[in-house]
Amino acid sequence: MNKPVDMTSVTPATFDVQAARADFPILSRTVYDKPLVYLDNAASAQKPAQVIEAMTNLMESGYANVHRGLHYLSNSATVKFEESRKTAARFINAAHDHEIIFTSGATDAINLVADSFCADIKPGDEIILSVMEHHSNIVPWHFLRERSGAVLKWVAMTDEGDLDLESYRRAFSPRTKIVALTHMSNALGTINPVKDLIAIAHQHGVPVLLDGCQAAVHVPVDVQDLDVDFYAFSGHKIYGPTGIGVLYGKSSLLNAMRPYRGGGEMIEQVSLEAVTYGSLPQKFEAGTPPIIEAIGLGAALEYVMGMDRAAIAAHEADLLVYATDRLRQMNAVRIFAATPHEKGSILSFNLEGAHPHDISTIIDRAGVAIRAGHHCAQPVMDRLNVTATARASFAMYNTRSEVDNFIEALEKARALLR
């Protein structure tokens, strides 16, 4: 891309952020006549032209239902759909393509595990969760608790915003059935030492589900190296479409599980008396799948894998450090989980004397989009003893000059609220 490079946005890494920006059509728009500064990436990321085109092209010239018709379009759509599965398998280094289950999102993926893997759970059996979880990795387990009498055990968080490892170790008992933890906190950015956490769980013979919604975007994920049992992530946070997510599960576990939903495409034989189920992955994909979205997700994952991910990580780390420093210089900011052992590009903070609602409403007028609220992680808010935080979250296409705009808008908000 021969675009002029904004020198303020040049980072120590070699990542060409201006070239990446050019891939995202929405970034050239304005909001209230100001250039859009989109810092709400942890909620949902914007989409590159490659994803938009893959979905549009499919609808314009390649669309039909998959796995069914013996006609040209159905066959070619099926090939593309299954290519996306292969891409997702490659993205997280799954041993087999059939270990990739397409779901409607990470929420759906976690509900699937809570429902199907834990179908035979007994009253008093235990599930280990952490107070750092997003509600999508809490509420499905509350459902399970309500219907089965299972007990939820909570891993505590340190003041630095790390999982408390002692509390984690203590949480295990002979009745522990599964551990469900976030790989990277959506509210704080903390990246958990998941390989160690999984090893500890496996010493107790307990499988682990990781919520990878944030981590899949920012951290290389190798499910075989992690030896993780289930891994869930959504499409829309990793530059792909909404309505699609992935549940990775080890074949041995998925094969032993009952189907989650019944319907077309997941069966082998249906008669008036009985039904036999299909094999993986169709067993867990009842009904017409989100075909367009799955192919869009494949395009998004190809897009990310086509980039230098280490350079993206360095670029995002630079943005996080730069924004953290600039926020600190304001001298009236509380940063949450400022110093965990490892942190992704999420910055959760509060401005003295201002509610996050005020901040986000005011800086919105400067074209700056951040999130204010509990971030669907109310136990985290309780732990921090606040009702809400403001959260700026960075993606590959953000720049230092956007951080400058963000800080300038914050200064203005502070002046207004004084």
Partner 1 sequence: MPNSDTIERLIDDFEILEDWEDRYRYVIELGKKLPPLDEALKNDQSKVTGCVSQVWLICDRSDGPPLTLSFRGTSDAHIVQGLIAILLRLYNDKTPQEIMSVNAGSLFHRLGLDEHLSPQRSNGLAAMVKRIRQDASRMAETA
Among 28, 122, 387, 411, binds partner 1 (CB under 8 A): 387
Residue 364: CB minimum distance to partner 1, A: 10
Measured CA to CA, the distance from residue 255 to residue 249 in angstroms comes to 9
Q: Which is nearer to partner 1, 346 or 388 (CB)?
A: 388
> 348: which residues sit within 8 A by CB, 6+ positions away?
187, 188, 189, 335, 336, 337, 375, 389, 390, 391
Report, in Å, the least distance between residue 355 CB and partner 1: 4
Binding residues for partner 1 restricted to 201-260, rule: CB under 8 A: none
**Which part of the chain contacts partner 1 (CB under 8 A), choosing from 5-13, 168-176, 207-215, 361-369?**
361-369
Distance between CA atoms of 31 and 40, rounded to whole angstroms?
A: 14
Q: Which of 165, 267, 376, 417 is catalytic?
A: 376
- Tell whether residue 332 is a contact of partner 1 (CB under 8 A): no
Residue 15 vs residues 1, 22, 393, 394: alpha-carbon distances, Å: 13, 13, 18, 15
- 349 contacts 337 by C-beta, under 8 angstroms: no
Q: Does 361 bind partner 1 (CB under 8 A)?
A: yes
90 forms part of the interface with partner 1 (CB under 8 A) = no
Dihedral (CA of 214, 220, 223, 225) sign: negative
* Residue 202 C-beta-side C-alpha neighbours within 13 Å: 11
Nearer to partner 1, 190 or 389 (CB): 389
208 vs 372 by CB, closer to partner 1: 372
Residue 175 or 355 with smaller CB distance to partner 1: 355
Query: Judged by CB under 8 A, which stretch of 164-172, 263-271, 302-310, 359-367 contacts partner 1?
Result: 359-367
Q: Which of residues 6-45 bind partner 1 (CB under 8 A)?
A: 32
169 binds partner 1, rule: CB under 8 A: no
Q: Which among 16-24, 190-198, 305-313, 354-362 is the span making contact with partner 1, rule CB under 8 A?
A: 354-362
Q: How far apart are CA 221 and CA 227, in angstroms?
A: 11
To the nearest whole angstrom, how small is the minimum distance from the Cβ of residue 314 to partner 1? 34
Query: Nearest CA to 194 among 1, 296, 342, 58?
Result: 342
- Two tokens at 42? 């942890």
| Partners of 226 in beta bridges | none
Tell me which residue of 161, 186, 191, 210 sits closest to 342, measured CA to CA: 191
Give SS3 for 361.
helix
Determine which residue in the list 36, 131, 362, 377 makes contact with partner 1, applying CB under 8 A: 362
Measured from the CB atom, is 261 or 412 closer to partner 1?
412
- Taking CB under 8 A as the binding criterion, the range among 191-199, 255-263, 275-283, 410-418 that sits at the site for partner 1 is 410-418
Pick from 354, 363, 380, 396 the residue near partner 1 by CB under 8 A. 354
With CB under 8 A as the contact rule, the residue among 65, 219, 355, 376 that binds partner 1 is 355
Task: Name the one range near partner 1 by CB under 8 A: 89-97, 116-124, 365-373, 392-400.
Answer: 365-373
Closest by Cα among 361, 350, 363 to 403: 363
Residue 289 or 356: the one with the smaller Cβ distance to partner 1 is 356
- With CB under 8 A as the contact rule, the residue among 388, 396, 403, 407 that binds partner 1 is 388
Q: Distance (Å, rounded) from C-alpha 218 to C-alpha 213?
A: 10
Total residues found in the chain within this entry: 418
Establish if 309 lies at the interface with partner 1 (CB under 8 A).
Answer: no
Give the 3-state secondary structure percentages of the chain, helix then strand then coil, rounded to 5: 45, 20, 40
Both tokens of 152, joined, read 């939820």
To partner 1, the closest distance from the beta carbon of 354 in angstroms equals 7
Q: Which of 160, 341, 357, 382 contacts partner 1 by CB under 8 A?
A: 357
Q: Is 339 helix (H, G, I), strand (E, B) or coil?
A: coil
**340 contributes a contact to partner 1 by CB under 8 A:** no
213 noted as active-site residue = no
Closest approach, Cβ 330 to partner 1, in A, equals 18
Q: Residues near 209 by Cβ (< 8 Å), separated by ≥ 6?
A: 110, 113, 137, 178, 179, 180, 181, 228, 229, 230, 231, 232
Taking the complex as a whole, the smallest distance from the CB of residue 388 to partner 1 amounts, in Å, to 6
Shortest spacing between CB 362 and partner 1, in angstroms: 6
Query: What residue ranges bind partner 1 (CB under 8 A)?
Result: 32, 354-358, 361-362, 365, 372-373, 387-388, 412, 416-417
**Residues carrying an active site annotation:** 376
